[in-house]
Amino acid sequence: MSQFIIKKINNELMFYDTKMNKVHILNESAQLIYNLYIKEKSLEDIENEISNNFQIEENYKTIHYDIEKCIGIMKEKGLII
């Protein structure tokens, strides 16, 4: 049995951790990263999707760092493995 109850609320994705009694909220960009990550997409694929969906014309190093940071936080919280 999963320790998370997941529910879509407006443009956000809520994870309720039943063991820790905590709530984690993913915004649109974090949701996209989450969904692509659980589909086992490469970091490069995730970077391209984020860049295209949010029309980001920044340096890919910044996008790469932000995505890795987001994935790290989700792993730390137990949202992904």
| Cα 18 from Cα 72, distance rounded (Å) | 21
**What six digits make up the tokens of 26?**
């993913």
pLDDT at 73 over 90: yes
pLDDT at 58 over 80: no
Q: 27, 48 in Cβ contact below 8 A?
A: no
Over residues 22-35, the pLDDT tens digits come to: 999 999 999 999 99
Over residues 51-66, mean pLDDT: 81
Q: In this predicted structure, what is the pLDDT of residue 77?
A: 94
**What six digits make up the tokens of 78?**
């137990």
pLDDT at 10 over 90: yes
Tell which wins on pLDDT, 22 or 81.
22
